[in-house]
Homo-oligomer: A and B are copies of this chain.
């Protein structure tokens, strides 16, 4: 599981985990029927408290993404992938929309803004590929 946690960026850690698990399912990196790491294991890996992971997993159960298997961990629900694919777009879109809305309302020059967005996008892609 490759999750990137940014501890103090305003988004609760449990929410970051839940979103990224959905992204992984949407992407096929986590497949239906596949087991996710145990609460304790993921907590250790991310260096966060087990209860924080547990809360993320509880949210994911409520959102029909994970299924608890008594005593054996949790697995991705069979029907989770299409739901996650749709939700991924919405989650990403909503966050982008908020950032873009603020950017526009800041009265930055529209052309400057457009350039800024593209530059950031390019820069982040380069960071990612290196």
Shortest distance from the beta carbon of A127 to any chain B beta carbon, whole Å: 9
CA distance A111 to B128 in the complex (A): 15
Q: Does more than half of chain A's interface fall in helix, strand or loop, or is it mixed?
A: helix
CA distance A107 to B23 in the complex (A): 7
| Chain B residues, CB < 8 A from A79 | none
A40 within 8 A of B: no
Set B71, B95, B100: member contacting A102, Cβ < 8 A: B95
How many interface residues does chain A have, given as a range? 35 or more
CA distance A98 to B70 in the complex (A): 21
A27 within 8 A of B: yes
* Chain A positions 56-81 with a Cβ under 8 Å from a chain B Cβ: 62, 70-71
Q: List 16 A-B contacts (CB under 8 A).
A: A6-B98, A7-B70, A26-B107, A49-B71, A89-B116, A92-B99, A92-B102, A92-B106, A93-B116, A96-B99, A99-B100, A100-B117, A100-B120, A104-B121, A104-B124, A104-B128
Interface residues of A (CB under 8 A from B): 4, 6-7, 9-11, 19-20, 23, 26-27, 29, 49, 62, 70-71, 88-89, 91-93, 95-108, 110, 113-114, 116-117, 120-121, 124-125, 128
